[in-house]
Amino acid sequence: MEGNMLYVPLFINGKLQESLKTKQLINPANYDEIIGVAYLGSREDAKAAIEAAYKAFPSWSRTNSFERSELLKKAATLIRERREELSRYLTLETGKPLKDVLKEVDFAARVIEYYAEEAIRINGEIVSSILANVRCLVIRQPIGVAGLIVPWNFPVDLLAWKLGAALAAGCTVVVKPSSEAPIASTEFAITVHRAGFPPGVINVVPGLAAEVGAELIENPRVAKISFTGDTETGKIVLEQSAKQLKRVSLELGGNAPAIICDDANIELAIAGCVRRAFSNMGQICISINRVYVYRKIAEKFINGVIEATSKLKIGNGLDPKVDLGPMFREELREKTRRHIKDAVAKGAEVLFGGSEPEGAEFEKGYFFLPTILTNVNHNMIIMRDETFGPVMPIMEVDGDDEAIQLANDSRYGLAAYVYTQNISRAIKMAEALEAGGVGININDVSELQAPFGGWKMSGIGRELSPHAIDGYTEYKTVRIAVI
């Protein structure tokens, strides 16, 4: 950082590096404000990073698991020491409110700490043999170099999910941050390195998907790709990786339904839906994208949602009183407008929002009002595709079977939510909903010690929990004849 300008370097083999290509980074709350300059890596830079990781792998993969654990614990401490600094970077580059990004950095430190603990629990097995003089061992070994492709919406949190599991397993990594929001994720990775990891274990190359991303996917020395992003890009990653039968985990798009049953705690449901639909301006893969409320309680629920939404404060995320910042870029705001316009043309009613907020403080940012729609149906784009914007479409239903059928009428299956006080109904719906995570009376499906991932077009593989480490290890069977 020079003065008030942030410079985002490449980090290869333990050294900060510059590149020939650069990109100006803007503040989504004021697109006239340039907050930094990122050096964008080329294919050659990506190759250099892969080579560094490949050369570091033999030594790093043989380190004692307790040594890896101690380094990760120290990394978590260093992250906490930079909590405010990393959080400010996140707000400047993504627009998210400071009070939310502080939680993101805190959780990222917890994730790294968690994988410090899991590093010493990567166990094998002794299995019985059909032969009396043979002993059979099953061991787990790190897969090799892992390419970690991180999105812009949660660049620190989601990097921690991938990086913690990979390092605990004994893999070396090349991180590709989003070229649009590389500041906090690059600084986060460098902070982890400074805990004492050997050069080449952690490498970072911000850059374009067509160059850095392509090299990670096509280079045979990369054994594993972990990608978080949109479904269409995920399909390309899978298709290209298949040419080398490369291990792939994909955490992709969602179109999460929320079912509000007639016995729900209405106040809890209102607060939960407003938070999960509008947090980070709806730019979250597990955002509530569709609400199915039972007709009997619909009026009360809708009025409550409007009242709660009207109290949300919109503005620059650096203001500690702000609940909602800007959207990340104009293309996403325009997509939100298109989805709303399509819904209204097909009969939807806008009860709140639907446009940009008024006022001079909003004129140069990608701000948009949280929006509530009713009279929606499944012929509307907004009920079928991921908007990735601050819109809550509400559809009235008559019972459990209809709600489940509509909720499952989607090509996505990342998350789903149910509000009910009937335990039998809760279990029935949780089992019937086609999603990798179901929240009952809670608006979040991620749990550090439980697997996170999607069904259907929402992805392959799992993040978090010990299960994430499975994606960074290979099983090996060792048969020993006793002679």
251 is catalytic: yes
Q: How far apart are CA 20 and CA 207, in angstroms?
A: 11
Q: SS3 letters for the chain?
A: CECCEEEECEEECCEEECCCEEEEEEECCEEEEEEEEEEEECHHHHHHHHHHHHHHHHHHHCCCHHHHHHHHHHHHHHHHHCHHHHHHHHHHHHCCCHHHHHHHHHHHHHHHHHHHHHHHHCCCEEECCCCCCEEEEEEEEECCEEEEECCCCCCCHHHHHHHHHHHHHCCEEEEECCCCCCHHHHHHHHHHHCCCCCCCCEEECCECHHHHHHHHHHCCCEEEEEEECCHHHHHHHHHHHHCCCCEEEEECCCCEEEEECCCCCHHHHHHHHHHHHHHHHHCCCCCEEEEEEEHHHHHHHHHHHHHHHHCCCECCCCCCCCCECCCCCHHHHHHHHHHHHHHHHCCCEEEECCCCCCCHHHCCCCCCCCEEEECCCCCCHHHCCCCCCCEEEEEEECCHHHHHHHHCCCCEECEEEEECCCHHHHHHHHHHCCCCEEEECCCCCCCCCCCECCEECCEECCECHHHHHHCCEEEEEEEEECC
171 is catalytic: no
- Check if the beta carbon of residue 146 is closer than 8 Å to that of residue 164: no
> Measuring CA to CA, which residue among 269, 270, 386, 390 is closest to residue 324?
390
Catalytic residue from among 51, 104, 285, 386: 285
Catalytic residue from among 104, 180, 251, 386: 251
Catalytic residues: 251, 285
